[in-house]
Structure 1
Amino acid sequence: MLRVRPVHFTSDLDGYAAQLEDQGLKCVENHGDWRVFDSGNGKVGIHQADAGSPMDGATELGFEVRDHEIFVRRTLEDGTQAEVVDSRHGGTARVTAPGGFNFLADPVTDLSLPTGGPLAVTAVWHTPDTAAAEKVLADIGAKFVQHRADGGSLFRAKNGGFVATIKGGSNAVELEISRDLDGGGSEQ
């Protein structure tokens, strides 16, 4: 089980939540400063950030998995660095890509498959090494979909959402909510 769930940090949590809802995403978790929205094909987490802080407006790559310990074992077996770590919400998996870029894969009990609706969440991973990023995505269980015109590739998570790689000077993540499944669409 693998679902794309990037996390966006914002000082305007209610305003950003309203933007996601206006695009058609549904709030499925609300814990005050942490909310999760479902597109039917991938999720988006939003987290409160202090206004003007370096995190305000930043997006991090993130996933949901069924069992973070099994996920770590399989990811290590496939050749990518992963470990079980404690986070503020319990045990989770941290994956470290070549160059030190890392992201979390949180355990969840919602094992639903994509509903096939008109929306899809795509995390766009800007990276200096697209080949290394694509190996990491394959090692965590994402499936290659296609090469992109910009030189990157598009990957699909079994339980929803997409990750696109694109050449960039440093690691960064952008969030896209697409009205189609080709990884393009309107950027959030």
Structure 2
Amino acid sequence: MVTESCVQEKSIVANLGEIKVSGDPETVLSCLGVGSCIALCMYDPEAKIAGIAHIVLPKSNDSARSRENATKYADIAIPELLQEMRRNGAVRSRLVTKIAGGSQMFKAASTNNFDTGTRNIESVRTVLAEEAIKIDGEDVGGNKGRTVRMFVGEGKVQVKSVGGPAKEI
């Protein structure tokens, strides 16, 4: 007799500008429709705490810092995610960090300074370097949207590009 696991995964979606953190091994953290945005995934393999940020724009200004959705900016979202991970028991030195997204979604963007995807990639890399956080895996650039899923129990990050197969980074 063959038995199958009936464990049902719980899904938590980080919408634009949101941060989500979980220590529930049955949970999957997701960012859907990641185009020029960046899905930033962090995982502490010892504490089994996972976090995800759906970063929309590269850099805030002074007035943006006081807004309700300030975590849509890379320079605000990354320190906030680190703080939330720590509050939930993660240890900074153990974090495994992966990024996905930063697509150039519109052809016209390649000829001017409005390529938000490239600017998001650069900003996320810069802020992570300033925070002394190493990037352990990435799937960035290109011109297709992605769905990013982070499996809390294992710390695995799966990226599925539009029209392509799912892959682990």
TM class by shorter chain equals 0.3 to 0.5
Q: Which structure shows the bigger proportion of residues in helix conformation?
A: 2
Quick one: higher RCO (CA 8 Å, sep 6+), 1 or 2?
A: 2
Larger radius of gyration: 2
Q: Which structure shows the bigger proportion of residues in strand conformation?
A: 1
- Give me the TM-score of the superposition, normalised by structure 1: 0.33
